[in-house]
Amino acid sequence: MTSGEFVRSAPMFAQRSGRSALYKALCFLLLILQGGVLDFYLIAFTDLYWCSWIATDLVVISGWAIFFVKNARGKRERACGFHQKSSAFGCDLGEFTYAYLAWLIYVIACTPKAVLVLETSILDLVALRVPCGVTGFKSAMLLSAPLLYCLVNSVVEDPNGATRHRSHSCFAATCLDLLDSFTLVEMLLRDEIPTPYLKYTVVSVYFVALGAPVVWLYELTALEMRCRWAWARFLGGAAVNAPLLAVRCVQVYVHRAPVSVFMFKNAFVLACRCLELVEQCVAVSGARRFAGGGGGGGDAAQFSHCVSENDMCPHGYVNTLAVTTQS
């Protein structure tokens, strides 16, 4: 890199660093706000070991801090051209490295708090004695969506890159699933879901939707497209939409509830996931047959030697513009 290129890239690097620092600060702010509200409900109205809830929040915040430190160090190594080692799970240490672990820690810490509030008399006491009441609990739970948004934007290096668009499409799908399942949670809070089995299904599916980003955050660290990622996306979508569709069908055909537009969303998403699974598995198997054939093996090997690691985009695609410029 020449001195002129370094001077031109310095403002862009500073802008990316400032943007990343802003989203990281928002992540910690949302973690503290949501955890503090739930801790207040659990501590003020019960004696359920209040020290353990605060300690849980400190563990989550420490885990996210460690993740951000490791992620920043990986970005510096990539900027300096150091070779990235692979993780124990066979994934390249890219920009989303360990993001799935950060979200997994958050889900594990948040789930028991919310379940205790939903399944005990705490929520009734909150509705009577807290100014915002149940609305405050709903608002605290919905902070998961902006928290995930800040997490995604805090680690994305190229605001216009393919990884950013892929992560934001996955984020939009997750938000839609969370909104879908939360509408049934609101019905549960209004005692409009009569049977206990449906109540347990609704609560379980909501937290499955909350934990679904672990799968696609882990997928974003992989450089290779495989059938198992398509199966993971299919099973993740089915684990949310199939139970929700079943609950709504029972509500409509057994308990005579009005038809929800989310029923069509559940059926449509399940059909799309099936088509996506078939399409991607066929594409991966076709690519493997092409790579294993003798006709294009030599050309592919010769081409792969001409492409450096810096010219590779996420999921194994080649930055053809960079290769053309070099040649």
pLDDT tens digits for the chain (327 residues)? 454 444 444 455 556 678 889 999 999 999 999 999 999 888 888 766 778 888 999 999 999 999 999 888 877 766 665 544 444 443 445 678 889 999 999 999 999 999 988 888 888 888 888 888 888 899 999 999 999 999 999 988 777 777 888 889 999 999 999 999 999 999 988 888 888 889 999 999 999 999 999 999 988 876 556 677 778 888 888 999 999 999 999 999 988 888 889 999 999 999 998 998 888 888 777 766 776 664 444 444 333 334 444 444 444 444 444 444 444
With respect to residue 281, please indicate whether it lies within any of the assigned structural domains: yes
Given this model, what pLDDT does residue 148 score? 95
Name which of 41, 181, 56 is nearest 110 in CA terms: 56
- Which tokens in the block code for residue 6? 């370094």
With respect to residue 301, please indicate whether it lies within any of the assigned structural domains: no
Given this model, what pLDDT does residue 247 score? 93
- What is the rounded distance in angstroms from the CA atom of residue 139 to the CA atom of residue 240? 22
- What is the rounded distance in angstroms from the CA atom of residue 164 to the CA atom of residue 146? 16
Q: 146 lies in which domain range?
A: 13-288+307-326
Name which of 206, 205, 230 is nearest 216 in CA terms: 230
With respect to residue 280, please indicate whether it lies within any of the assigned structural domains: yes
With respect to residue 2, please indicate whether it lies within any of the assigned structural domains: no
Given this model, what pLDDT does residue 144 score? 95
CA 33, 37, 41: angle at the middle one, nearest 5? Answer: 170
Given this model, what pLDDT does residue 315 score? 45
Given this model, what pLDDT does residue 61 score? 95
Helices (H), 254-296: 261-292
- What is the rounded distance in angstroms from the CA atom of residue 307 to the CA atom of residue 317? 11
Counting the structural domains of the chain, the total is 1
With respect to residue 299, please indicate whether it lies within any of the assigned structural domains: no
- Which tokens in the block code for residue 291? 């790579």
Please, what sign has the CA dihedral across residues 175, 180, 183, 189?
negative
With respect to residue 44, please indicate whether it lies within any of the assigned structural domains: yes
With respect to residue 6, please indicate whether it lies within any of the assigned structural domains: no
Q: What pTM, to 2 d.p., does this model score?
A: 0.79
With respect to residue 1, please indicate whether it lies within any of the assigned structural domains: no
DSSP assignment of 171-183 = HHHHHHHHHHHHH
Q: How far is CA 231 from the centre of its chain?
A: 17
- What is the rounded distance in angstroms from the CA atom of residue 63 to the CA atom of residue 209? 22
- What is the rounded distance in angstroms from the CA atom of residue 15 to the CA atom of residue 79? 15
